[in-house]
Structures are given as structure tokens and as C-alpha cells.
Structure 1
Amino acid sequence: MTTLFNLTRTTVRATTLLSILLIGAVILLAGCGQEETGGGNKSGSSAAKDGSKDTAASSATKDGSKDTAASSATKEDGKGASGAAEKEDGSGTAAAAAPAGGEPEVLELKYQGWTGSVTIAELAENLGYLAPIKLKWIGNTISGPQDIQAAATGDVDFGGAFNGAVVKLVASNAPITPVVSYYGTNDKRWNGFFVLEDSPIKTAKDLIGKKVGMNTLGAHGEIVLKNWLQKEGLTKNEIKDVTLVALPPVNLEQSLRGGQIDVAVIGDIVKDKALERGGIRSLASDYDLFGAFNAGTYVIRKEFIKENPNTTRKFVEGVAKAIEWLKETPVEESRALFEKIINERGRKEDASAVKYFKSSGVAGKGGLISDQDFQIWIDWLENEGQLEKGKLKPSEFYTNEFNPFFEKK
């Protein structure tokens, strides 16, 4: 009887020990599975698992208010939001984000378009270069500065603007990183200062007291115009007497011909369409002043890059490939595809201007960024007293790390 009792007690102890071990194993496995799920559900995702869409405030702070431009500010000591020092070769803080080849963390990117035209990002998606990532159009913009501000606050996942405007936003400690050039100026694509054929305006001095229309203030048109006026000998007070008026791009030509403005700053396909109708002439252009140059870059929030490095890499790769596709493809084929994209997306737009497309204007391979793309505008803003001298160094705030055409030195 005693032997049986001892045997039973031993069996119970063994059974109890086995149960404890099994329970421990289950807990351990459950913990591992939970960690993997949490790592895959990135906070920067554009769509929840139940399929519901994000609101424009998807990157807002927890109390629902949007981030301020300085929320993830780049430190003046040359360190980014991650605290890591920027690289001298222009690879930026994003350099150590993630190795190439990983699956995109986010499969939908919010963005703004431009009426009647196809952006380089939209072209990249159509060509399949962004797959499996999809773009989510949330509306149109007529302003580069507004577009990159929307990127800084998280209303969109990427935005693009003239590099001078990018410099000004970076200087305000906005948490953004320029990642790829997307438009430029060359002998085929340029912006000019146009007047009517019979206008008495012949020189820069003649603009004193006149109205100049452009798509937005504080960007390409304004900075290049003031640069020209300065080079032509106008004083700061005389330049102040030139009135700048912001108008939608599609209204600039009409406003010039109707006499509402004396000069129109227009470029690219809008310019070529206006020139075909005749009756206008150019006083000067950005190409006359600077030759060929990369004029604008796409920017992405530092936080988004940190949390979604593979998505960032895929986006930049797609844009870079689309830039090269445009260089290698007959212009007639490019125009036909642009018209097809516009007609099929159903935004009730006029696609007639795309037949004037000639070039993206991007210099260099795949939209690679260089220090000079920003330094020219940093120097000008410093001379104008709009930027503290020595505050910004280009290689400390942009990155080429995600561009497949980038070769480390």
C-alpha cells in the first residue's frame, strides 16, 4: 500500500512538472508570435488591417494635433532625428535605415497631384516600378511649398518642391529629408518671364511698379526672378516695388493676355502651349541664368523613413527608374502614355497640354542629388538675409542612400 502511494505521488509530481513545462513553452511561443506581429504592424501604415482608410492626420501626434515643423527637428550639430551624425557623402541619416531587398512595410502612399499633368511618381506607378506599393491621390496642389509642408505634417507621405523652398523648410527645422530629384531645367524644359509681344517692358528695370504673376510665392518663380533682377542691377528697394501675384498655373497665360498682370512666370508644357498661340515673348529664363540644373526634390518625413525604410527605398527606386525611362523613351510614346493616364484616372481634367512635354529636365542619373542642387539657393538666401550664414550644409540634410544609382565613395 505504501509502495503504491509513493508510486502515485511520484507520478503526480512528474505529471505536474510536465504540465508546467508545457505551459511555459506555450507562453514562450505566444510571446514570440506577438513580437513578430507588432514589428510588422508599422505605425506609418496607410491602411489599417480592417481595410479602413487613414485620415489626413495619420502622422499626427497622439493628442490629434498635427506635428509642428520642429517636432522631429534636425539638430544644429548636424544630427538627424535618429541622433546619428550625417555623412559627408550626402547619404544622410537614413543611410543605416535598412539593408536593400526587404519587403515594403507600407503598401499605400498618400500624395497630391497636379491638374492636367502626370507627376514622375504617378508615372513610376503606371510603369510598375513601385509595385507592390500603390499611390493614394488625396487631391491636387498648385504649390510646391504647400506640398512639402503637407509632407512635413504627415498629411501626405511624400511631397515635392523647388530646392530653394526645400532649403527654407529644412532651415525651419522641419522633420523632412530630400530623397530624390524629380524635375529640373535644361534647354528643353525651362521657366521664363513672359510679357505680351507689344509690351513696353524690355528690361529688368521696366518691372519696377509692375505686377508679376507666378504659381506660388517663395518658390522657383520668385527666387529665380529676384535673382535675375538682382543680377540686372536692381537695388533691394527697387525689387520690393515689383509686385508678385500668386495665380493657378492654368490662369497665368489668360491673366497676362487679359492685362491683369504685366509679366507671367511660366514654364514647361504651360509655356510651350502659350508660345504656340503666339503674341508673347520671354525677357529671360532660369536656363539663361543657371544653365541645366536639378530644380526640385521629393521629400519624406524622417520618422516615416526610420519606420519604413524598405518602402522608402522602393519609392525612390521607382522614381529613379521612371526618370531614366523618360530619357530613353521616344517623346511621342511618353506623351501618349501621359494622356492615357490622365484620361483613365477620371479626374475631369484637360489632357491637351501633355502633347507639349519634352523632358523632365532632371540632370544626372536617376535623380541623384548633389550638394550644388541646394548650395546655390543657400548662398542666395544667406545673401538676402533670409538664412543665417553657415546654418545649413547640404550633405547634412539630404540622402542618396535609397537611390539604386548611388555609388558610395
Structure 2
Amino acid sequence: MFRTIRWKSKTVGVASLLAVTALAAAACGGGNSGASAGSEQTELRYQGSVGQVTPAELAADLGYLGPITLKWIGNTISGPQDIQAAATGDTDFGGAFNGAVIKLVAAGAPIKAVISYYGVDKDSYIGYYVRDGSPITSAKDLIGKKIGMNTLGAHLEAVLDTYLRQQGLSADEVKQVVPTVVPPVNTEQALRAGQIDVAALGGILRDKALERGGIHPLFSDFALYGTFSAGTVVLRKDFIAKNPRTTKQFVDGVARALEWAKTTPRAEVVARFEQIIDKRGRQEDKTAIKFWKSYGVAGQGGLIQDTDFTRWIDFLRGRGELKKDVVLTDLYTNEFNPFRTATGS
């Protein structure tokens, strides 16, 4: 049974009430997320990540979600899987690389991105590393080589493909480069053992590998693009229609949490993360969280920019993976973000 709440509001005109009722009646999708007239769902199911604190989890701990509570149902294995779970109604929200969001919407999934939640900056980035002494010194050298990454069809493969094309490889040559799925914790070892030729590493796994030495970067997503927001949180369209106040409160809370993480001293943020991990009692290793540096989100409060999607639309079209045209208004909205007014977005 979903928890619902009656939101206090000013009297709504008959026309507005009929419009809301019509939206609720027309909405469809999994999860039974609607509630009785005048009430909205305030318990949101989601997937987490082992040893990490998502912006939504931080928002809940900071008290920014108001009456909304989060219900953890397990950990996700990848961004594409996470937003697929949201699309099918197994969860109420999920997050993924924007290219994956585009593909899912183009396939007909009734979801919409509402806020950015991770990105790339000088502290939070993915580097593509080779062993010292490796003959690989350019994009051309990657033809026929294995590049280890956590999942296919997402951020890391898109960045690799962009790098190859920018460096002048033809479409046929790009196809000869071999993205290879390797669990993140095993990627460095696989590189050093020669099982892969290039390792995509970020965060603590990158920092620890560099401390041990013997590897160096070939390129990185930050070097390619600079600072940018790379992934967004999505909600089902029927959820938004049935729960506009919950949606606004959720986005507002996550936006404020992102700004809190940006403006609070790093040591204090990490300490808060450790407390959150302890309190949720999932028996997780907190080692990685000590090396957290930023969420990498570019826009204030997670505001989404057109380029956060157009860059990957062009990429997917170039690969022949986008068979159907998509429009930005179908992909995302900043309607519920409190920083939209402040920035004029």
C-alpha cells in the first residue's frame, strides 16, 4: 500500500480541477502510483548504489523532501537498468546517462527527465588508462583493442565513441574497437594482467590505481567536454500527472541537496555520507565514500540544459541507433526545479 498525503493548497477552480482529473484518468503505466482525489503518493521506491549516497538519499537525510519518504528496494546494476525499472513501474524514479534516457524515450517509454544528478568536472571524471610502455598512444592504436568498462550502451561507451570519431577514425574503424564489460572493481587488475588494453576508471578506483603507478591516461571525458551534466533522474509521465506536488517537492529537495553538496566543505559532506551509510544498515564498505569529491553536476540545482541531450542525440544518430526523431520537450522538463526562476531557465 502506497503512502499518500493531502497537500494543503489554495482553492482550485472547477476548470483546473477537471483538467487534473482528466490527466489522472488518461494516465497509464505500472506501479499504481496514483491515489484518491486530493491526495498524492509520498512513498517513493528506488534503487541505490553500494557504498554510495545518491542526491535523493542526501536530500532525504537533510530533511529537504518534506513529507516524502524513500523506500529502498535494492541496488541497481547500471543506469539503463535503473531507468528501465522506473519505466516499467518497478520503481518510482531512476537515473541514467542521458544517452540511455534518449534511447528509452525513443523506444516509447513514458518517462521524462526532471533533474540532473551526476556529471563531469575536474574532480569527478572518467579517464581511459593504458599501461606504461603500452604501444597505444593514439586513437588509431585502439583498433582491434579491448577497452574495459562497467556497461555497454551508456556513458563510457559514448565517450569512447566520441573520442574515436573526433580523432578521425572512420565508422568501420570505430566498429573494430572492442568495448568490453568488466566489473569496476576488477578493471584495474584486468588492465595490469593484459586481459584488456585500456581501462575506464573513475573515482576511488582511478585514484588508487594512479597511486600504485604504472599506468597513464590516454584521454578522459573531462578533456573531451569540460564540465557538463551527464545523467538525469527520470519519473514516469503518469506519475508526474497524478502527483504534481510530490514531483515538485522531490525535485526541489534533490536540487537543494545538490547545492548543499557543492557549497559545504568536502570533509563535512563526506562525514554526512558516512552517517547516512551507517544509518541505512546495508552492511556496506565505506572506504570508497571517503574519496568522494563532487557529484559533478554543472547546472545550478541540477537544472537541465538542451546540450545535455542534443550532444547525445547527435551521437546516437551518427551511430544509426536513433531510428525515431525525439524532441527535447519529450525528454526533459525544468518545470519543477526551484532554480529555474532564479536563473531564468
TM-score of the superposed pair, with normalisation by structure 1: 0.73
For residue 129 of structure 1, what is the aligned residue in structure 2?
64
- 2:64 is paired with a residue whose SS is coil
- 1:366 is paired with a residue whose SS is helix
1:221-236 correspondence runs (5 A): 221-236=156-171
Residue 6 of structure 2 corresponds to residue 46 of structure 1: no
Letter in 1 for 2:188: E
Aligned-pair CA distance for 1:181: 0.4
**More moved, 160-169 vs 276-285:** 276-285
Report which of the two has the higher share of strand: 2
CA distance in 1, matches of 2:231, 2:153: 13
Equivalent in 263, 266, 288 of residue 353 of structure 1:
288
Equivalent in 113, 134, 137 of residue 199 of structure 1:
134
Structure 1: unaligned runs, 5 residues or longer: 1-44, 50-80, 84-102
Aligned-pair CA distance for 1:309: 1.2
CA distance in 1, matches of 2:257, 2:204: 19
1:100-111 correspondence runs (5 A): 105-111=40-46
For residue 368 of structure 1, what is the aligned residue in structure 2?
303
Letter in 2 for 1:123: L
1:86-97 correspondence runs (5 A): none
CA distance in 2, matches of 1:273, 1:149: 32
1:242-261 correspondence runs (5 A): 242-261=177-196
The answer as to whether partners of 1:177 and 1:302 remain within 8 angstroms in 2 is yes
Aligned-pair CA distance for 1:82: 5.5
CA distance in 2, matches of 1:82, 1:230: 44
Aligned-pair CA distance for 1:167: 0.9
For residue 326 of structure 2, what is the aligned residue in structure 1?
392
The answer as to whether partners of 1:191 and 1:285 remain within 8 angstroms in 2 is yes
The answer as to whether partners of 2:102 and 2:331 remain within 8 angstroms in 1 is no
For residue 295 of structure 1, what is the aligned residue in structure 2?
230
Residue 120 of structure 2 corresponds to residue 185 of structure 1: yes
TM-score of the superposed pair, with normalisation by structure 2: 0.86
Structure 2: unaligned runs, 5 residues or longer: 6-21, 25-37
The CA RMSD over aligned residues, in Å, is 2.1
Residue 339 of structure 2 corresponds to residue 405 of structure 1: yes
**More moved, 193-202 vs 148-157:** 193-202
- 2:275 is paired with a residue whose SS is helix
- 1:406 is paired with a residue whose SS is helix
The answer as to whether partners of 2:47 and 2:76 remain within 8 angstroms in 1 is yes
CA distance in 2, matches of 1:377, 1:183: 16
Aligned-pair CA distance for 1:175: 0.3
Letter in 2 for 1:229: L
Relative to structure 1, the CA distance from residue 120 to residue 270 in structure 2 (aligned partners, 3 Å threshold; closer, same or farther) is farther
Aligned-pair CA distance for 1:112: 0.8
Larger radius of gyration: 1
CA distance in 1, matches of 2:172, 2:277: 44
- 2:234 is paired with a residue whose SS is strand
Equivalent in 266, 269, 273 of residue 334 of structure 1:
269
- 2:300 is paired with a residue whose SS is coil
Relative to structure 1, the CA distance from residue 281 to residue 394 in structure 2 (aligned partners, 3 Å threshold; closer, same or farther) is same
For residue 202 of structure 2, what is the aligned residue in structure 1?
267
For residue 214 of structure 2, what is the aligned residue in structure 1?
279
CA distance in 2, matches of 1:245, 1:354: 26
For residue 30 of structure 2, what is the aligned residue in structure 1?
none
